[in-house]
Structures are given as C-alpha cells and as structure tokens.
A = this chain, B = another copy of it.
Amino acid sequence: MMTPSIPAGFMELLPEDQIRMNTMKNIITRTFEKYGFLPLDTPVIEKSEVLLAKGGGETEKQIYRFTKGSNDLSLRFDLTVPLARFVAQHQNELSFPFRRYQIGKVYRGERAQKGRFREFYQCDIDIIGSETLSILNHAEIPAAISEIFCAMGLNEFVFHVNNRKILNGLFTSLGVEEPALVLRAVDKLDKIGREGVEKELAELGMSAEKQGELFDFLSIDGSNDEVLSALDAFPCEDEMYKLGIEELATVLGGMAAFGVAEKNMKIDLSIARGLDYYTGTVFETFLTGYESMGSICSGGSYDDLASHYSKKKLPGVGISIGLTRLYTQLEEAGLFRFPVENHLEVLVLPFPVTMEAGIKLVQTLRNEGIIAQIYLESGKMGKKFTYADKLHAPYVVVVGESELQEGKYMFRDMATGDQTAMTLDELTTKLKAD
C-alpha cells in the first residue's frame, strides 16, 4: 500500500481552513472586479522559449521545465510574463488601457523552507496603456488593494511608495556607473554602519563629496509633505530626478483622491524593488506591528511590458498579492479578522420515517439560498449530532414525526443548545436573517 503524501513545499488545506482561504480569495476577486479589472486565465504551462524570452537568471533555475513529446514546456513562475505574452499576442483584440486581474497558482522550485512555497497563488492586477498611460493609474492600484485589506479587517497597514526615477536621476547626477553595486552597498547600512558603506562606496570610485550628497539624500525623512519638500529642495538638477519627484507627488495626491487614508501611505525612499523591472512608481505594503512579515503586497510601474514580444510600447502599472504566503502569515500572527463566507448554515437530521420530508425540507432551504445539508445515513441521533458538531453547523433541524404532523420542525441552536419547534416559514426567516 502506498503512503499518501504530497511533495514538500506545497500547501494543502483541510476544508475548514480552505473555506477561510477561499473567503480571502473571494474578497480579492470581488474587489478587483468592482474596480473594472477584467479576468484572465492563462495556461499554467507555457512554451519554455516564450516564458524565458527575457532570460532568466535566478528565476530560471527555479523553473519547472520539462519536455512532452517534442515540446519544451515550463510552468509559469509568475503571472506577469504570461500577461506580457497575452497582451502582445492579442494587442489588436484588446482595448487600452487594458485592465486585467488574474488569480492563479505559479511555480518555483525554491529550496523548501518555512513559509516558502513551490506552488502558490498570486493575485495580480495590472493596467496597460498603448504607448502612453496616465500616472493616475498608479494611484488607483493601491486604492483597490486598500479596500481588500480593509475588507479582511487589516486596517493598520502602510503603503510604502517610491519612484525609481528619483534615485536613478540622483545616480546620474552623482556620476554613478553601476547603480546596482551602489544600491547593494547602501542596503548594508543597517548591518555594517555608515563607515562600512563609505568604504565600499570609495572602492566603487565614489568621491567623499558625492558620498556626502548620497547620505544627505538617504537621510531625508518626515511626513510625506516634508519628504516632498526636502526632495524639492535637495540640490540635484537632473531632469529624471525632478520628474520622479513630480510623479511621486502626483501618485500620492491621486491615492488620496481615490480614498486611501493619509495614515496608510508613506514615502519610503529606500525601496527599490526589482532593479530591472520597475522603472517608475514602486509599492510595498507592510502590516503595522508586523513589519517582520516583509511586504505583503508589492508592485510598481514599468515603461514597457512586452518588449520581448512586441514592438508596440506598452507602459503599465501592477501589483501582486502573494495569497498563499499571506494566508500562512495571517494564520501565524492570529490575524484572521474577517467572517468566513459560504460556511454550512444548517444540517437537517431526519429519522428513517421522515426521510422524504427531510429531503424536501433541505431542498426548500437551498432554494432560499441557504447553505444546507441533510444527513442521509442511518444511526442514532447522538451520532448525528456529533457529526453536526464536527461540521461546526450553527443550527440543526430535527425532522420528527410528531412535530411534522403539526407542520413543525425542531430547530436547535448549536451554540446555546436552545431548541424550538418552528414552522417552515419561521425556520426560513430565522436562517435567512442570520
């Protein structure tokens, strides 16, 4: 006999947990749809040559790649490359700005470790323009996410917002030739201190004066208005730098117009996110008091989505919730603060002689939109109530012969243990009110 198990690094939930996970997925789906994002459901399997057109690097090693017949195939490792492929492929059939959401599983053969999954859900929204895209779209994206987190009862979160043009412009004006190396040195500030970073920057050929300028820039802090003022006042004349500040100000103003609360957004000049990929706005999202979780939702804007597949310039902005990871993080932190949806509402318990009446009752309740189940097995009432307990049925209806003759059913509140004889109308009204 084969011992049943699943591969390491894959999530599989028991039904009660899956209901909670599905509630999160439903909240996300509903909100994305309310914001007019269109659904997309691309294949899990893509042609390897298409998926890897960009060239992989780190990601490429993690890809599930295989051949079937003469086809070289790969499982998608995110939803962005398939989006780029889709938009390029169907650009003449789409209306721009094209707004799509996709919620689906992606695959990365990472080293198995706690909180890391090899199969996980990404929940993505993107807005793609044809040649141009208003920067106000950058502001709408976090508004949708804000609504999702609030619906999950997670009101204490902060969008960290930055614009990569600012740092790029600054680097240009400082004459930095290898921004990636400078950023890597700067990122060690907490670890090796200012002196350690200065040493590394010197090795990269940055003069003490320019190092001073860089550290002045990095020390800019305060409220969003204060940071914007300080950025304006900062002595950098680079055009890219100035454009970055203007865009950042527009995005923050737009977020406010879209209803994101002031307390939920913060300029954070330290976030850069995916050096190659994002070119303008970047977002990270942190739960207040749980910053150690890392960003629970990240995204940004890009100048051209599909340069590997299309000559048309397709600027866009997008954001992604890593749902599988978020689920485990919320579970560990005890942060499931939303009521679950689509849970069993009532279990009907018939006796053998009232089986047909029980079946008719459960169908009547279902026709009223109530989530209802009937226990069709034989056995003692005690066993049936144990089943109701295990299912966490909030209510049970016992279909007794004598009550039935009076047109009534025994209605039991499983939390209080209260029992009341009720007519069908009373029963339905009570269940629908709950």
Q: Interface on A for B, CB 8 Å cutoff?
A: 1-7, 10-15, 18-19, 21-22, 33-36, 38-47, 49-50, 53, 64-66, 68-69, 71, 73, 84-86, 88-90, 93-95, 97, 99-100, 105, 107, 109, 118-119, 129, 132-134, 136-137, 140, 143, 147, 254, 257-259, 306, 308-311, 342, 344, 347, 355-356, 359-360, 363, 366, 369-378, 387, 390-391
Contacts and interface: CB of A to CB of B under 8 A. Distances in A.
Contacts of A68: 64, 109
7 contacts: A2-B309, A35-B372, A36-B347, A44-B119, A68-B109, A132-B377, A258-B363
A19 B33 CA distance: 10
A400 B89 CA distance: 37
A369 B147 CA distance: 12
B64 A134 contact: no
Given A34-B371, A95-B390, A39 B12 contact: no
Nearest to A365: B34
A11 B69 CA distance: 19
Contacts of A109: 68-69
Given A366-B35, A371-B33, A373-B99, A43 B6 contact: yes
A75 B390 CA distance: 33
Given A5-B89, A53-B2, A137 B43 contact: no
A119 B36 contact: no
B373 A36 contact: yes
A368 to B, nearest CB: 10
A40 B356 CA distance: 30
Contact of A257 (B95, B356, B369): B356
Given A4-B89, A39-B18, A259 B344 contact: no
Contacts of A84: 4
Nearest to A88: B4
Contacts of A35: 366, 372-373
A129 B73 CA distance: 40
A41 B14 contact: no
A373 B98 CA distance: 12
Contacts of A38: 15, 18-19
B359 A257 contact: yes
A99 B371 CA distance: 13
Contact of A19 (B39, B147, B356): B39
A100 B43 CA distance: 25
A220 B392 CA distance: 47
Contacts of A259: 360, 363
A95 B387 contact: yes
Given A1-B310, A134-B376, A47 B14 contact: no
A354 B45 CA distance: 45
Contact of A360 (B14, B44, B257): B257
Contacts of A100: 15
A187 B20 CA distance: 48
Given A18-B39, A68-B64, A371-B36, A133 B89 contact: no
Nearest to A378: B134
A342 to B, nearest CB: 5
Given A1-B308, A143-B363, A391 B134 contact: no
B14 A369 contact: no
B41 A86 contact: no
A361 to B, nearest CB: 11
Given A95-B387, A105-B44, A377 B5 contact: no
